[in-house]
Amino acid sequence: MRRWGLVLGLGFLWAPILLLVGYAFSADRIPFQWGGFSLRWFAALAENERMLEAAWLSLRIAAGSATLAVLLGGLAGWALSRLGPFRGRALFGTLAGAPLVLPEVVTGLSLLLLFVALQGVLGWPANRGALTVLLAHATVGMAYVAVVVQARLAGFDRSLEEAAADLGASPFTVFRTVTLPLIAPALAAGWLLAFTLSLDDVVVASFVSGPAGTTLPMLVFSALRMGVTPEVNALAAVILAVVGLLVGLAGLILQRSRRNLPGAG
């Protein structure tokens, strides 16, 4: 009985994905129809200039925004769980968590309006594209990183930091030598989370981007609006392989960090 629940749920989650990957290797022009084994759609993908260009742009945006998100979200998560009461803490917490619960269309539209207003007042950003998408994705990613870091720090006794402070370490030294190593795995996991969220986003990017900034999801979305193509299936298979690799890597990092810190849950 219990097994059946798992089989049913996991089957529903995985069947479409496995079929999609399987049929990416089909020669047939109609997707999800078997026409013999072939790598032609992967080859077509490798020659699709627009797709490759968009993929490269998306990867750079994802890496940049994830890095910014880790810096800002790490500080925010640390402040929320370790600084105690500071002025405006409630507002800070609400703002840090807001991107998690705001609908994507609201986030996208409001950020676009901000960029338009900034351009009107300051003349910056001069045009919308990769940079505005990067800033938007960093904002959303920051919220996720802050949550992951907060959860990690909640699992540790504050006494570790207090001991360092009692021994004469300045707050900054405590942060650098005790807190930072503790949250390093959370930062790594948060970076990966922010990276994949950025690679996956259509809605926010569509709002804040300009004519020169077509990301890979934006391109795939407009292709899917015309109906699914075998090329999109091949692309999905590639994404799946890359994500599987990254998640496996993250799992390894987390496992290793757990082994090094026997006190951690």
Partner 1 sequence: MRRLLLLAPPWLWLLLFVAAPVLILLAIGLAEPADGVPPFLPPLGWEAGRPVWQGSGASLAVLTEDGWYALAFLRSLWVAGVSAGLCLLLAYPLALGIARARPSRRLPLLLLVLLPFWTGFLPRVGAWIGLLRDGGWVNGVLMGLGVVQEPVPLLYSDTALLIGMVHAYLPFAVLPLTAALLRLDPALEEAAADLGASPFTVFRTVTFPLSLPGAAAGFLLVFIPAAGEFVIPSLLGPPEAQLVGRVLWDEFFQNRDWPLASALAVALLLALILPIRLFQRLEARS
Question: Is residue 194 a contact residue for partner 1 (CB under 8 A)?
Answer: no
Contact map string, positions 7 to 26, toward partner 1, x by CB under 8 A = -xxx-xxx-xx-xx--x---
Decide: is 225 part of the binding site for partner 1 (CB under 8 A): yes
Q: Which of 170, 177, 180, 252 binds partner 1 (CB under 8 A)?
A: 170
Beta bridge partners of 37: 26
How many residues are listed for the chain in this entry?
265
Q: How many residues make contact with partner 1 (CB under 8 A)?
A: 84
The 8-class DSSP code of residue 177 comes to I
Q: Interface residues for partner 1 in 110-129 (CB under 8 A)?
A: 110-111, 113-114, 116-117, 120
Enumerate the β-bridge partners of residue 26: 37
Task: Pick the closer one to partner 1 by CB: 41 or 207.
Answer: 207
Using CB under 8 A as the binding rule, whether residue 221 contacts partner 1 is answered as: yes
* Per-position x/- string for 32-61, each x denoting binding to partner 1 as judged by CB under 8 A, each - no binding: xx----------------------------
- Under 8 Å CB-to-CB from 164, ≥6 apart: which residues? 173, 174, 177, 178
Q: Say whether 38 sits in a helix, a strand or coil.
A: coil
**d(C-alpha 137, C-alpha 233), whole Å:** 25
Q: Which of 151, 160, 244, 256 binds partner 1 (CB under 8 A)?
A: 244
Contact assessment for residue 202 and residue 218, using Cβ atoms and an 8 Å cutoff: yes
